[in-house]
Amino acid sequence: MTQASDVSRPFTIGQVLTLACASTEADQMFCSYGDLLAVVGFMLSDVPLADHLPAAIERCRPEVLKQHPDLMVVQPPTVNATDTAVLSWLAAQERVHGTELSLTPLEVAS
């Protein structure tokens, strides 16, 4: 049997926070689109099509919060926040949680 630690992988705080708390209705992201596809693909073992990405994020969210329960209290910036405000918020999250957090794919974690 594969152990979770054998398949865990570090991702940037922006990637993890996008899965944990970003608004999928507003296409809110705290990382590049390519980085978002990388983390979702890792979590689901499949990269979804663009129109399925919000549902894929919502599918990952409970497991990400289970793996990192301290992120449950994180409030993302408003969807109309300026880039400067989002970057300031992201820097504050890095100071609290670090620049990277490890994730384990859904199939292994369950």
Q: What is the pLDDT of residues 55-91, one digit of tens each?
A: 999 999 999 999 999 999 999 999 999 999 999 999 9
Query: Among 93, 98, 106, 94, which Cα is nearest to 64's?
Result: 106
* In the chain, alpha helices (H): 4-7, 13-21, 33-44, 53-67, 83-97, 106-109
Q: What is the pLDDT of residues 43-57, one digit of tens each?
A: 999 999 999 999 999
* pLDDT exceeds cutoff 90 at 107: no
Q: What is the pTM of this model?
A: 0.91
Phi/psi region, residue 31 (left: phi>0; alpha: psi -120 to 50; beta: rest), is beta
